[in-house]
């Protein structure tokens, strides 16, 4: 228990801190409005995610591998973790050819130490995006566990612009969650953060300090 506490405190001491000002991230809620255009949804999503210290990069699906490769070089990542299946799984692997890659192929206990101490970035698919609040909806499976998005210091989340919805209720309605409820769903609105009593934010204390969203804008 003490080692876990000490680890969190150590990460807090070295984390980037930013004074929090509510006015900087204030948004008028959309409520259940469904009248917004695709461009309005995209603008709102990018603005809200950026305000939460996430990086949003609109790209085409043909650019996934090259974008991951460029990010890996820029940030000097050495080791990455990915799942074993998914629509863009092969693009992930192609973009990570220069890195040491761990694919989720066994029980977490067998590679937990490497995931927590050696992996620089985890890459996942995104089920949907929520424009109103600027959030990602992840639906972890046995082929792409939630630890990929919650543990490594950097997280790349890849989503299609066609899955961008106005609000969370719309996601559940249009994807018929009532008859196909996920056993586990994650809502992610930015990098991991915590704050002290003086409202000073620290990023990466207990999860990724960096969130990069690749949003695929293919028509």
Q: Which CATH number fits the domain that encloses residue 208?
A: 3.40.50.10420
pLDDT at 52: 87
pTM above 0.85, yes or no: no
Alpha-carbon span 123 to 213, nearest angstrom: 10
Distance CA 104, CA 140 (A): 12
pLDDT less than 50: residues of the chain: 1, 12, 15-25
172 assigned to some structural domain: yes
Domain limits for position 126: 36-216
pLDDT for the residue 182:
78
In a domain, 47, yes or no: yes
What pLDDT sits at residue 194? 67
List, in order, residues 6 or more apart from 20 with CB less than 8 Å away: 195, 199, 200, 201
- In a domain, residue 27? The reply is no
Q: Return all residues near 2 (Cβ < 8 A) that are at least 6 apart.
A: none
pLDDT per residue over 151-188, tens digit each? 999 999 999 999 999 999 999 998 899 888 878 899 99
**Amino acid 187: pLDDT:** 93
């Amino acid at each position: 228990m003490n080692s876990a506490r000490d680890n969190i405190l150590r990460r807090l001491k070295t984390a980037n801190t930013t004074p929090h000002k509510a006015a900087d991230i204030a948004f008028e809620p959309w409520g259940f409005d469904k009248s917004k255009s695709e461009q309005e949804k995209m603008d709102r999503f990018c603005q809200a995610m950026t305000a939460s210290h996430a990086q949003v990069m609109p790209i085409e699906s043909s650019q996934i591998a090259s974008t991951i490769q460029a990010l890996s070089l820029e940030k000097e990542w050495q080791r990455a973790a990915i799942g074993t299946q998914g629509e863009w799984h092969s693009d992930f692997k192609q973009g990570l050819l220069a890195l040491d890659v761990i694919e989720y192929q066994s029980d977490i206990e067998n590679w937990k130490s490497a995931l927590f101490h050696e992996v620089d970035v985890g890459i996942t698919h995104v089920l949907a995006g929520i424009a109103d609040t600027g959030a990602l909806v992840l639906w972890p499976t046995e082929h792409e566990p939630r630890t990929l998005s919650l543990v490594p210091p950097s997280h790349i989340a890849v989503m299609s612009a066609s899955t961008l919805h106005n609000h969370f209720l719309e996601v559940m309605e249009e994807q018929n969650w009532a008859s196909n409820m996920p056993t586990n769903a994650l809502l992610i609105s930015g990098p991991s953060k915590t704050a002290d009593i003086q409202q000073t934010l620290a990023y990466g204390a207990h999860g990724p300090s960096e969130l990069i969203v690749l949003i695929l804008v293919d028509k």
